Structure formats: C-alpha cells, structure tokens
Structure 1
C-alpha cells in the first residue's frame, strides 16, 4: 500500500479549519512532492481563502487566493513544493469519495496546467473533535471514462 506522508503542522491546520467551519464543508490545497519511492509528501496545506463559500454539502474555494498562496510557497521552496491535490471535509459524513469528488479528481488529472497525472484527494469526515481522514489517489479511468479508479493511501504524520 502506498503512503501519504503529511507534516503534523499541516495536518493540524486542516483540523483547525474543519473545526472552525463545522458543520459546513471546507477544504483547500495540498502542497508537497512525490518521493522517489512514489509516496506523496505533503509539507503545506492551503485553506479555503477569505472569499470561500461554505455550505452543508459543498464548498467553493477562493481560487485566486489559493493560487497566490501556492505561488508563494513554490517560490519560497525554490520550486520543490508543488500542488499535489486537494483536501476537504464531509461534516457528519463518510471519508469516501462522492460522485462529485470522483469527477473533480478526474478533472484535476486531465487539467494540463496542474501537470499531475495522479492527484490526491484527502477527505476528512465527522466533526466535533472526531474526524476520520482518508487519502484517495487517482489511478485512472475505467469503462470508457464512466468510472474512475483510485488507490486508498495509508496516512502517516511526520514532524513535531
């Protein structure tokens, strides 16, 4: 099983944001790199942005703000930290991917500017200090694009 390594500080940022907005959905961007062994490493997370819209079963990020933050992290890291996928919450739900999540993940994989053939989607489910997280990585289309395949990754924290 492949693994997703995530900095504990980045993971804590996601938890804080999930708690702040609960019972509404929230999310953001995952920034890091692919290790030589194929494992993904998330060093930073970017939140939803100040102009994001949070709803019970959906949220719309402040895309322009997220892009500016991603550019800043890219520059500071001398190009080492890049976009690796998205994260979001399913308040009082399941960390499984919805049909919209699957469609979004396939869209990211097909978006040339993202330059990411196997993007990641990290979903946090639950709420009120009882979150469960599951990482999904795009692995391709099945049945002529009518369905997608994903790998579920083992989540590992690193750092203090």
Structure 2
C-alpha cells in the first residue's frame, strides 16, 4: 500500500497489474508508452484502488515523449462501468525509459489539464510513472490534489 501521510491518502494496486504494465512498457522500450488507469476511490475519497488499464488505440512514442489519443477509449470505459459501476477512469500511466520515475514539466501540465477538464469527472487524477534507469525499475505514484502534485510513498 502506498501513502501520502500528510494528506491521509492511500493507494493500492495488485502486483499482477504492475507486472502487466511493466511487460507492456518493456515491449515498447526504448520509447515511452502508457495508457489509462481504471479503478475507484473509497466513499471517503481518501483511498484509491487501481484495478485495470486501458491501452490507447492510437499513440506516438519516442524515447522522451508519449502522446496518446482517446479514440475508442470511451467504449472500453463504458464496458468497465457496465461490468462494475464503481470502476472508472482514475488517471494515467506511462514509462520513462532510461530515466527516473519523476514527472516532467509536460507530465505535470498534462495531469493538471486532466484535473481542470470539465468533461473529466475526477478531481484528483493519479499518475504512475515507470522509470527504467541503470537496469532498475522504479515506480512513481502521484496524485494531483488541490492544484499540486504529491508522491505516494
């Protein structure tokens, strides 16, 4: 379980899903790749459970950039919601090949634009960055909360 003690927030994600994301990221190495995170917040909104991912149908990735489109994603989101009405879009994930799991200025701007988008029904989007540096894998879980980015420990 990951925590941000100062905010009283927690996050959990199954090891199987993390393994799946790592495998997907490795297939696209040395380019960045990512997708959408699916899950739900507790009723109190202080615990996030990440359960699934949706991969983009259309994307562009280089060793230092990842852009995805949302074409076709809405129908996949509806499928999750139909199967389990408490599951919905909770954020984004992507890889940082040969780099640390620290959000870039572009990452921070993207998460802020998600939080500020009136068509997105989530106030505190999560961000997972998977860093592959020096033959080590680092996971960085973040949340956009009250206009700032915080890292889960």
**TM-score, with structure 2 as normaliser:** 0.86
Q: TM-score w.r.t. structure 1 length?
A: 0.83
Post-superposition CA distance 1:4-61 (Å, at most 9, x none):
2012222122111111001100000110001245111001111233x32221111222
Q: 1:88·1:124 contact (CA, 8 Å) conserved in 2?
A: yes
Q: How many residues are aligned here?
A: 145
Cα displacement string for residues 78-130 of structure 1 (whole angstroms, at most 9, x for unaligned residues): x2101110001111111111111111111010112211111111101016963
**Runs of 4+ with >2 A deviation:** 65-68, 127-130
Give the structure 2 partner of residue 146 of structure 1: none
Partner residue in 2 for 1:20 = 27
Q: 1:128–1:17: structure 2 CA closer, same or farther, 3 Å change rule?
A: farther
RMSD: 1.8
* Structure 2: stretches of 5+ with no match in the other structure: none
Report the equivalent of 1:52: 59
Gaps of 5+ in 1: 142-148, 155-160
